[in-house]
């Protein structure tokens, strides 16, 4: 339920509404927009009457939210959310590109790629220190040593950095090294992890699970929002279908659906959807045309030597060329890059 307050409502008016919400056993979340003041009622409100709130001083309107996700719903914040990552805004006019290697392999590798993607226009460097792999014998990442490399490259290049966190025990440690966390597809429904990240205010990318519905993705975001973290960027990265020509099937239709359903920014990872660098550019351009707020693209200066996902990583020259093409598409859809 969303309780819209009159812009002239006093603090005491808001406090009375919040007290009444809590008296019913629910949580209250106050959102102050540029032109709106709303109080969200968090919980299963099906048994609570709305008339009692409508009659309260300062209340303009009461709108039930019938969706199972409350705070992630577009009704909760119609104007949309802009997630600020160290001064870079995701969800605004600019399309933000996050690029870098799948895994951090060495300081030299990370530095070389960082310089290339920054020169091409990327705003945030991606790179994973912890890698969830299907086979237990595959490269699992460098752990905290990789995070130290990431921090050093950040200091040298000025790029913001993001990385995946996999374990509840590592959330605080990982958050201390990077500007943005990432929840991978395999952990989208790791609810304990989501709750722990929700207790921080660190911006986070939430990737859609390979077999997850849009509703399940939204509810995963709700887990973090319920704990207090609203700095969430949703990421479509392809879903599992019967098709084997690509690694996954990019659900491009999820972009406009999410933009209608939620106020949270939406980005696309064309690299994991494609699994083949020959297709990454086409999927990236389609994502921008469909309304994506950003892209998460893998780039490696020596993909044939990559310890993880080399076939889907663009070469720096390919990435630079793609960025030029994306700028043209961005202008065509009224955005900038």
Predicted local confidence at residue 79, as pLDDT: 86
Q: Look at residue 34 in the predicted model and tell me its pLDDT.
A: 67
How many residues are present in the chain?
Answer: 337
Three-state secondary structure call for residue 42: strand
- For the domain made up of 83-332, give the CATH fold: TIM Barrel (3.20.20)
Q: For the chain, give every residue range classified as CATH 3.30.70.1140.
A: 2-64
What is the value of pTM for the model shown? 0.89
Contact 41, 2 (CB under 8 A): yes
Confidence at residue 28, expressed as pLDDT on a 0 to 100 scale = 85
Compute the Cα dihedral for 321, 326, 332, 337 and give only its sign. Answer: negative
User: Tell me, what's the pLDDT at 246?
Assistant: 97
User: What pLDDT, on the 0 to 100 scale, is given for residue 41?
Assistant: 84
Question: For 2-64, which CATH superfamily applies?
Answer: Phospho-2-dehydro-3-deoxyheptonate aldolase; domain 1 (3.30.70.1140)
| Packing angle of the helix pair 144-157, 107-120 (nearest 10 deg) | 40
Are 248 and 211 spatial neighbours (Cβ–Cβ below 8 Å)?
Answer: no
Q: d(Cα 71, Cα 28) in Å, to the nearest integer?
A: 11
Chain region(s) in the chain for CATH 3.20.20.70: 83-332
Tokens of 69: 């996700």
For residue 46, what pLDDT is reported?
Answer: 67
Q: How far apart are CA 60 and CA 272, in angstroms?
A: 46
| Spans of the chain below 70 pLDDT | 34, 45-47, 49
């Amino acid at each position: 339920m969303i309780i819209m307050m009159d812009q002239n409502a006093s603090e005491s008016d808001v406090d009375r509404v919040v007290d009444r919400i809590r008296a019913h056993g629910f949580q209250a979340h106050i959102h102050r927009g540029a032109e709106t003041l709303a109080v969200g009622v968090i919980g299963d409100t099906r048994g609570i009457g709305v008339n009692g709130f409508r009659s309260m001083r300062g209340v303009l309107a009461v709108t039930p939210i019938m969706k199972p996700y409350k705070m992630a719903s577009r009704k909760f914040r119609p104007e949309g959310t802009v997630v600020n990552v160290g001064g870079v805004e995701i969800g605004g006019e600019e399309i933000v590109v996050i690029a870098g290697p799948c895994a951090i392999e060495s300081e030299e590798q990370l530095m070389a790629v960082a310089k290339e993607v920054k020169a091409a226009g990327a705003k945030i460097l991606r790179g994973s220190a912890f890698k969830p792999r299907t086979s237990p014998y595959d490269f699992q990442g460098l752990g905290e040593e990789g995070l130290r490399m990431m921090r050093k490259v950040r200091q040298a290049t000025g790029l913001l950095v993001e990385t995946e966190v996999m374990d509840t025990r590592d959330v605080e440690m990982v958050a201390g090294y990077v500007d943005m966390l990432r929840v991978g597809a395999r952990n989208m429904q790791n609810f304990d992890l989501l709750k722990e990240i929700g207790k921080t205010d660190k911006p986070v990318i939430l990737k859609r699970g390979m077999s997850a519905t849009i509703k399940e993705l939204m509810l995963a975001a709700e887990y973090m929002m319920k704990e207090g973290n609203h700095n969430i960027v949703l990421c479509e990265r392809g879903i599992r279908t019967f098709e084997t020509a690509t690694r996954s099937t990019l659900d491009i239709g999820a972009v406009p659906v999410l933009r209608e359903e939620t106020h949270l920014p939406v980005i696309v990872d064309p690299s994991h959807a494609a699994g083949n660098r020959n297709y990454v550019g086409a999927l990236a351009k389609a994502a921008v045309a469909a309304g994506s707020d950003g892209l998460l693209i893998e780039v490696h200066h020596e993909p044939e030597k990559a310890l993880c996902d080399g076939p889907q990583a663009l070469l720096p020259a390919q990435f630079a060329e793609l960025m030029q093409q994306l700028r043209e598409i961005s202008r065509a859809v009224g955005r900038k890059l």
